[in-house]
Structure 1
Amino acid sequence: MAVFDPRRVRKQLERNRQTHGGRDWPASFKDRLTEPLPGLRMVLRMMRERRNSGPSLADARNIPVRRADALPPVPADRAAVTWVGHASYVVRMGGRTILTDPVWSRRIPGVRSRLTPPGVRWESLPEIDAVVISHNHFDHLDAPTIRRLPRTTPIYAPAMLGWWFRRRGFTTVHELDWWEALDLGPVRLEFVPAHHWSRRGAFDTCKSLWGGWVLSSGEFKIYFAGDTGYGHWFAEIGARHPDIDLALLPVGAYEPRWFMRAVHTNPAEAVRACLDLGAPRMAAMHWGTFILSAEPLLAPVQEAIREWESAGMPRDDLWDLAVGETRLLPAGPDS
């Protein structure tokens, strides 16, 4: 009679995940880390400090919200972004509608309820042509929101995260490594590096990849950073894509700096990243939705404005959008 060996079963399950979808992924992506992850002592210190400090909620009412009943129309030859909140954008380009890291839930594990409602009602969304995911942290990969999507929705996910969607019945799931790209009709989606990490449970640290996306169609190119610290990848992305029109960059969740620096840009670093990318305009995200850190609620966008102007950049090219606000990218001279 065969003896049940749970370790062997776990190894086989892990191996099945690595090869699910027809590719043979590595068991871990820890070699992609830019810096070592915080150790137990740092995590315990962070937890102690978080209990004793935090931003005042008084400024929550000052976070701008322009929630509309429907998205404004976008001409087929133009591109537009709508900030839903946190890292969730509705990107419309090439006649396609793409969601980035969609989170419509009122709560995510481990933090208080969202400060502002989703900028677009779920029922008001047009048909979604694709979803791009940056990594598997709960504030970027939200299971209740994903369950609301038709299972035929194309999913573009980091390496070793495809099984998560296939297990939930999604039929078109693409897993990409850094610098790999696929076409969605006239829109090209390229997965690019980020200074971050991944974990969803106690035993899956860095077992799936993390990154950002470059979305291109016609004359328009939009960079979505996902979640990231500051580092050399921005200059390399800019070198490979010297024609980025708009960079969607995180400006929040950066204090205390000793803990967050390796994985979250502060506003000054976000502006510097935009300059490294060579993008003429930047849209702020990753603030005003969930309380993930200790800085004052309005500080991320206030500091971003100061840093942007200090860098000599035109104020109109920093898009500090209200939740729910839509902005069209400027058309080229030949449009």
Structure 2
Amino acid sequence: MRNKRYVNQDQVEQHNSLKQFKRWRQERIRKLKLKDYSYRVPQAEPDLPFLTGNREIPSITWVGHSTFLIQLGGLNIVTDPVWSGQMAFQKRLAPPGIPIEDVPPVDVVLVSHSHYDHLSIASLRRLTGGRQLLVPAGLSAKLKMKGFSSVKELHWWESVTIKGVKFTFVPSQHWTRRNPWDTNSSHWGGWVMETAGAHRPVMQTHNREETAQVMSASYQETAAASDWKTEKPEKGKNRPSERPAVPASTIYFAGDSGYFRGFKEIGSRFQIDVALMPIGAYEPEWFMSPQHVSPEEALQAFEDTGAKWFVPMHYGAFKLADDTPREALDRLEAERCRRCLEEERIVVLPLGETWKLTKNSDDHSTS
């Protein structure tokens, strides 16, 4: 019996044929000679005592690429675990924000899809804790063969609740393959995380002016990243305590995706506070656009979802395409200005920094 092959919501040609791949590689040889990779994503000293002891305050820490440590509802959640030092023949551009040996025990691992830059088996093995794996449909058998027993696979729009946190697997526009024979044999998507009571009315603007001022200053400092290069910030600078305390109980992790109508549907089903959205690996766009949003498309997707805050990801770790981390951030900022979006709504996190979130005083959910 032939294995099931998963498809996207819309019929879209994925540019992943050998002929298209060869064309891109030939173009890339010429382009990369003109690219400036001197910029490095800013790096902050991780607040390990807080992360290790915290079970109450929601927080988001960017490890790198699409890997986050999210603390929500008392759970330690890791997305797309990749601490690899290189991808194919490309060395990692910046070290992970948290060394894998310092990651606190993990309760839940969310996998968006099985591409190697989103699922590293070696990294997954090194994480400690219960490690309940939530994965796309079609992927659990492979992981169980690798020795992982706590695996649950979900189809689009299916949900599971773990200790009061609801996880829903939502669509994206992508594809997947780990070897020449398993193309699209498992699905792909994003994850929406909700704490109890996340069905509350529209989020209040408690301390909005103070929040805006702090977030704007933080954004400006991080966006001026050419001054950071590879240096770490001074001790005590850009600490998590300097990030704004904002109410949040619903976090959307988009995984990998080209731009598609599904972003609007996700926004219609959930009241999203924070969206973790990809902005990198988009060039050349003739090749990448069906599977990876550009920074401009990422902002359109962000507006489609109706989310309050945007945290960029999927840039700065690996040379997966022809764009550079600096180009991705510059295009994101240019498009934000063109759209007249408030600066404070785009939260550019340094690697390793923890953004602490607080619940609204009117939110009666429990952890």
- Taking structure 2 as the reference length, what is the TM-score of the superposition? 0.80
Are the counterparts in 1 of residues 105 and 130 from structure 2 also a CA contact under 8 Å? no
Structure 2 distance, partners of 1:60, 1:68, is: 23
Structure 1 pair 151/77, CA: closer, same or farther in 2 (3 Å)?
closer
Aligned to 2:75: 96
Tell me, in whole angstroms, the C-alpha distance in 1 between the residues paired with 2:353 and 2:103: 14
Question: Would you say 1:228 and 2:257 are equivalent positions?
Answer: yes
Task: Identify the residue that residue 126 of structure 1 maps to in structure 2.
Answer: 104
Deviations 1:106-160 (A, max 9, x none): 012x241101001011122111001000001010011210121358421000001
| Contact 2:40/2:316, CA 8 A, preserved across alignment | no
Task: State the alpha-carbon separation in 2 of the partners of residues 253 and 271 from structure 1.
Answer: 15
Supply the distance in 2 between the matched residues of 1:151 and 1:284 (Cα, whole angstroms). 27
Name 1:7's counterpart in structure 2. none
Give the 3-state SS of the residue equivalent to 1:271 in structure 2. helix
Q: Residue type of the partner of 1:278? A: G
Question: Which among 278, 282, 299 is matched to residue 254 of structure 1?
Answer: 282
Alpha-carbon separation, structure 1, partners of 2:322 and 2:349: 22
What does 1:22-61 align with in structure 2 at a 5 Å threshold?
A: 27-30=4-7, 32=9, 34-38=11-15, 39-54=17-32, 58-61=36-39
Higher relative contact order, structure no. (Cα contacts within 8 Å, ≥ 6 residues apart): 2
Tell me if the contact between 1:256 and 1:294 (Cα under 8 Å) persists in the aligned partners. yes
Distance in structure 1 (CA, Å) of the matches to 2:41 and 2:127: 28
Unaligned runs of 5+ in 2: 199-248
Q: Report the equivalent of 1:22.
A: none
Determine the C-alpha separation between the residues in 1 that align with 2:33 and 2:83. 23
> SS at the partner of 1:259?
helix
Please, what TM-score do these two structures have when normalized by structure 1?
Answer: 0.87
CA distance in 2, matches of 1:31, 1:319: 30
CA distance in 1, matches of 2:127, 2:324: 34
- Establish whether residue 301 from structure 1 lines up as the match of residue 279 from structure 2: no
Aligned to 1:207: 185
Q: Which residue of 1 aligns with 2:201?
A: none
- Say which is worse superposed, 150-159 or 318-327, in terms of deviation: 150-159
**Shift in CA distance, 202/225, structure 1 to aligned 2, threshold 3 Å:** same
Partner of 2:64: 85
Q: Does 1:272 align with 2:300?
A: yes
Post-superposition Cα deviations, 1:277-303, rounded to whole Å, max 9, x if no partner, equal 000110000001001111233111221
The one-letter amino acid paired with 2:174 is: H
Q: How large is the RMSD of aligned CA atoms in angstroms? A: 2.0
Across the two proteins, how many residue pairs are aligned to each other? 310
What secondary structure, in the 3-state scheme, does the structure 1 residue paired with 2:286 have?
A: helix
Find the counterpart in structure 2 of residue 328 from structure 1.
356
Taking the aligned partners of 1:253 and 1:111, their CA distance within structure 2 comes to 16
Distance, in Å, in 2 between the alignment partners of 1:44 and 1:59 is: 23
